[in-house]
Amino acid sequence: MAANRTAGVTIVTSTIRTKHMQDIFDNFERQLWPVKELIVIVNDNGIALRPYKELAARYGGVRVFRVDGSRNLGACLNYAVARARYPYVAKFDDDDYYAPRYLDEAMLLFAKKKADVVGKRSCYFFFPHRSLLLLRRTTVKPYGRCRRIAGATIMFRKRVFKKVAFSAKVAAGSDVRFVNACLRNGYKVFTSSSYNFAAYRRPNRKSHTWQVSEQRLLASKGAKIVRTADFKPYVERSLDQLPLPEALRPDDAGQAGGAQAWSGPAGAGLAYGGGARNGFANGLPNGAGKSAAGGAGNGAGNDQAKGVLAPFGRALSMRRRP
């Protein structure tokens, strides 16, 4: 079954930090999914709505609301979801990075796996103050069912909201409770790949909802770490570059090339052979060792791929001590 490119997605973001105002709009605008809207919830009575509404006027399909500062994140999300116009809802955090094809990848799971909830079990963390990128991996394979996903990556069918809402009672952990409630109600939760999303981590862990320490994150079992000031080449992937199983590959009817209809921005829509897909899955930066003939890591493309893979492989083995 082909994924329906006309199905709309409502992105919801709750915020209490004016410094991330532009980030919210950038994440929305960056998404290449064609039918989308953004609902911004300002959850601080001391923050003026006018700057948000003025910025929203420059974009199409953006609405801004205030929810009283005494209400928790779950209440803010419920308020936004109740006003969503589209059948799919994606929760975006105000301080993280969502790549251009983030929504596209999730929508494949809704269409082809009949998922009810989609998120990321393994994901990237970027520490800009240390120029470190961490891939925190789990044993759960991408594109399969799971029982836990990162809160910043929760996306679901709006019809789920008829039975399951976010907890309006807890100060933290409303996302975990939401996923658990979905599972109890028989909804299918799937994980996408680790690509196309990165969580930013600031030096002050208390400025995050999840107040895990840097030492604990960097010492995660099976973690891969690379030193870089620019995480995007490692994180961003077009659909052609993702390690998609054959059953998930796009096959949009009436559009030549199938996956090409879903490929990345201009210049990124090359067709990749199996060797290139394996290379990307192993952590090559986006664009390294590309071969339109179908095989970075094979034949003529191998030397080019080695030039990037060798130093990157050494960096990945570098573990930070807690």
Asked if residue 266 has pLDDT above 60, the reply is: no
* β-bridge pairing 155-157 and 97-98: unpaired
Sorting pLDDT into bands at 50, 70 and 90, what band is 137? confident
Task: Write down the CATH superfamily of domain 9-235.
Answer: Spore Coat Polysaccharide Biosynthesis Protein SpsA; Chain A (3.90.550.10)
**DSSP assigned state of 247:** G
Residue % of the chain over a pLDDT of 70: 71
Burial of 24 (0-12, 13-18, 19+ CB in 10 A): buried
- The CA distance from 155 to 178, in Å, is 11
- The CA distance from 85 to 218, in Å, is 40
Sorting pLDDT into bands at 50, 70 and 90, what band is 312? very low
What pLDDT is stored for residue 222 in this prediction? 73
From the list 259, 256, 255, 224, the residue with the least C-alpha distance to 105 is 259
In this predicted structure, which of 50-54, 164-168, 175-179, 298-302 has the lowest mean pLDDT? 298-302
- The CA distance from 69 to 67, in Å, is 6
- The CA distance from 194 to 99, in Å, is 12
> What are the tokens at 78?
């419920």
- The CA distance from 160 to 113, in Å, is 16
What pLDDT is stored for residue 47 in this prediction? 98
Q: Are 142 and 243 spatial neighbours (Cβ–Cβ below 8 Å)?
A: yes
- The CA distance from 157 to 82, in Å, is 12
Q: 10 - beta bridge partners? A: 37, 89
Asked if residue 165 has pLDDT above 70, the reply is: yes
Burial of 196 (0-12, 13-18, 19+ CB in 10 A): buried
Asked if residue 168 has pLDDT above 60, the reply is: yes
- The CA distance from 58 to 11, in Å, is 17
Q: What is the maximal distance between C-alpha atoms in the chain?
A: 61
Model confidence over 14-26: pLDDT tens digits?
Answer: 999 999 999 999 9
The model's pTM: 0.79
Sorting pLDDT into bands at 50, 70 and 90, what band is 193? very high
What pLDDT is stored for residue 83 in this prediction? 98
Mean pLDDT of all residues belonging to the chain: 79
CA atoms within 13 A on the CB side of 273: 14
Domain boundaries in the chain? 9-235, 239-316
